[in-house]
Amino acid sequence: MNGAEALVRTLRGTGVEVCFTNPGTSEMHFVAALDRLNLLRCILALQENVATGAADGYARMTGKPAATLLHLGPGFGNGLANVHNAKKARVPMVNIVGDHATYHVKYDAPLTADIEGIAGPVSDWVKTTQSADDVGADAAEAVAAANSWPGRIATLMLPADAAWTETPNTGAAVEPEGPLPISEADVAGAVRLLSSGKKCALFVSGATLVEPGLTKLGKIAAKAGCDLICQTSNRRVDRGAGRVAVKRLPYPIDLALQMLAPYEALVLIGAPEPVGFFAYPNKPSRLAADEAEIVSLATPFQDTDDALDRLIAALGAGETEPVRRAATPPPDPASITGEVGPETISKALSAVFPENAVIVDESITTGRMFYPDTEGAPPHTWLQITGGAIGDGLPMAVGAAIACPDRKVVVLQSDGSALYTNQALWTMARERLDVAVLLFSNRAYRILEGEMVGVGVEKQGAVADALFGLNDPEIDWCKMAESMGVAAVRVDRAEDLAPAFADAIACNGPKLVEIVF
């Protein structure tokens, strides 16, 4: 057994089942080990940011880390943006990065790079294995780091000679770190605010937004008379009819300030204090009202489930029935007429919304109505881009579909961000994934037009028009998708939206609908 085989055996032995990969020369012994042992499901990505984004989506839906296999520093660099998103989502991920043989590094060959320096800022755990005998133990440590609460990024560098050298050693499972404890003082502070008579909201994220956290939030809200608000971008939200509804803080800063202005108190559970995505002239960074009192019951690194239990006990809310969202009757598809735009697209989505779907949302500006409009849709799971680095939607859908082959995955995808990782369409086709891609082709970086206004620029000129426009030349998404093996159809009339969406959802495999407006 060589070091590469020890690595594969250790990964599988510690619970890793899938590897999203884009390998190169320094990883050939690892590829050979994957081939010989056939212990991991291997998914080829045509660009590294697809591999890392897919690992993000997989982890969100399983709670377990996938491995990525990346080629040296530049390969990790290509995948860095979606590692950043995964770190902000606080999901588990194990990155295996091939490196030059230890004795070759000193020659500064063209691909030599400071991989630890590149990976460090977006990883929670980083290590370069030193020899074949160390590979198994280092891999087990990496998996344990990834599985530590609430989910962390572990990046292990594998020198080529450590991969090809013989060793008798594999690694034994290591216990991951659990969550930090909740303090009695923080519980008391939360109870004081919720009992003060002030207008109060729980500001939440993380594990609170899936069961059993949702029901517990509902009990607290019903007992204390407070509201429930989640971050703008969250790892995963289970929502829809029959579930406890949680409002989402809007992305535009003026709308966020407006939502939070009435609240005299916020209790943070699994979320930091709400702040703006960016700084804007003459607008605050902190979004809560200046006079609002803010108490943190549990940071993302503390035990949010225990925090909810203790708060329920302290409030005497154990027998309280939470308010659950009633089902909203879907719109009649025949009533969807007029121009194609955010409103008609949202109605069409609501009209054909599939039960138990996984919705991957990178719709940016077009999709601001989708989330509130589908609050009473059939039960489903909603995944959002968490770190603001666009290009996570299509890859995340790949990972979610690998994780949940029995659930329909629907991607709400803006065209500008899709261009960052359009190679994910090829992987969808190759793996025959059950994904419907709703591609909103407004042929612009529309969000940047709004950001120009937000930062105080009164008039957009010709240079900005050229930098924000995707219409010269126009991109034909149907041809692009079909060239990668994905069936596609173009829609530019509101009357055709719901039928096209329904066909894509009913398709047993990947299909793209390009919505032009």
333-516: which CATH architecture? 3-Layer(aba) Sandwich (3.40)
- pLDDT of 476 higher than 90: yes
Sort 16 into a burial class: Cβ within 10 Å, 0-12 / 13-18 / 19+: buried
- Residue 82 has what DSSP assignment? H
- pLDDT of 443 higher than 80: no
| pLDDT of amino acid 222 | 98
Q: Of the candidates 113, 19, 401, 304, which has an alpha carbon nearest to the alpha carbon of residue 10?
A: 19
| pLDDT of amino acid 407 | 98
- Read off the pLDDT of residues 306-318 as tens digits, 9 standing for 90 and up: 999 999 999 999 9
Q: How many CB atoms lie within 10 A of CB 189?
A: 16
- pLDDT of 426 higher than 90: yes
Identical fold, 3-164 and 184-315: yes
As a whole number, the mean pLDDT across the chain is 96
Residue with tokens 């005998």, as numbered in its chain? 133
- pLDDT of 420 higher than 90: yes
Confidence of residue 414 (pLDDT cuts 50, 70, 90): very high
State how far the alpha carbon of 311 is from the alpha carbons of 186, 194, 202, 210, 214, in Å.
10, 10, 12, 17, 14
Q: How many helices (H) and strands (E) does the chain have?
A: 20, 18
| pLDDT of amino acid 79 | 98
- Read off the pLDDT of residues 366-406 as tens digits, 9 standing for 90 and up: 999 999 999 999 999 999 999 999 999 999 999 999 999 99
Superfamily of structural domain 3-164: Thiamin diphosphate (ThDP)-binding fold, Pyr/PP domains (3.40.50.970)
Distance of CA 99 to the CA centre of its chain: 28
- Read off the pLDDT of residues 492-510 as tens digits, 9 standing for 90 and up: 999 999 999 999 999 999 9
- pLDDT of 446 higher than 80: no
Q: Cα–Cα distance between 214 and 221 in angstroms, integer?
A: 11
Q: What is the mean pLDDT of residues 207-215?
A: 98
Distance of CA 17 to the CA centre of its chain: 20
Please tell me which residue, 353 or 446, carries the higher pLDDT value.
353
- Read off the pLDDT of residues 251-288 as tens digits, 9 standing for 90 and up: 999 999 999 999 999 999 999 999 999 999 999 999 99
- Read off the pLDDT of residues 142-196 as tens digits, 9 standing for 90 and up: 999 999 999 999 999 999 999 999 999 999 999 999 999 999 999 999 999 999 9
Residues 6+ away with beta carbon under 8 Å from 227: 200, 201, 202, 221, 247, 263
Dihedral sign of CA atoms 44, 48, 49, 51 in order: positive
Q: Which two tokens stand for residue 72?
A: 């040296």
Q: How many CB atoms lie within 10 A of CB 64?
A: 18
Confidence of residue 299 (pLDDT cuts 50, 70, 90): very high
Q: Which two tokens stand for residue 393?
A: 């939607």
| pLDDT of amino acid 462 | 87
| pLDDT of amino acid 463 | 86
| pLDDT of amino acid 77 | 98
Q: Which two tokens stand for residue 16?
A: 């890793």
Q: What is the mean pLDDT of residues 245-249?
A: 98
> Which helix (H) or strand (E) is 77 found in, with range?
helix 72-89
- Read off the pLDDT of residues 62-80 as tens digits, 9 standing for 90 and up: 999 999 999 999 999 999 9
What phi and psi values does residue 487 have, to the nearest 5 degrees? -60, 145
Confidence of residue 464 (pLDDT cuts 50, 70, 90): confident
Query: Dmax of the chain from CA atoms?
Result: 69
Confidence of residue 457 (pLDDT cuts 50, 70, 90): confident
Q: Cα–Cα distance between 460 and 384 in angstroms, integer?
A: 30
Residues 6+ away with beta carbon under 8 Å from 507: 436, 487
Domain ranges of the chain: 3-164, 184-315, 333-516
Residues 6+ away with beta carbon under 8 Å from 173: 13, 14, 15, 140, 143, 144
Q: Of the candidates 304, 313, 234, 233, which has an alpha carbon nearest to the alpha carbon of residue 269?
A: 304
184-315: which CATH architecture? 3-Layer(aba) Sandwich (3.40)
Q: Which two tokens stand for residue 93?
A: 């991920």
- pLDDT of 456 higher than 90: no
Q: What does 436-453 look like in DSSP terms, one character per residue?
A: EEEEEE-SB-HHHHHHHH
Q: Which two tokens stand for residue 498?
A: 């719901």
Share of the chain above pLDDT 70, in %: 100
Q: Cα–Cα distance between 91 and 149 in angstroms, integer?
A: 9
pTM for this predicted structure: 0.96
- Which residues in 285-314 are b (16+ Cβ under 10 Å) and which e? eebbbeebbebbbbbbbbbbbebbebbbeb
| pLDDT of amino acid 472 | 85
Dihedral sign of CA atoms 481, 87, 134, 100 in order: positive
Q: Which two tokens stand for residue 382?
A: 């909603």
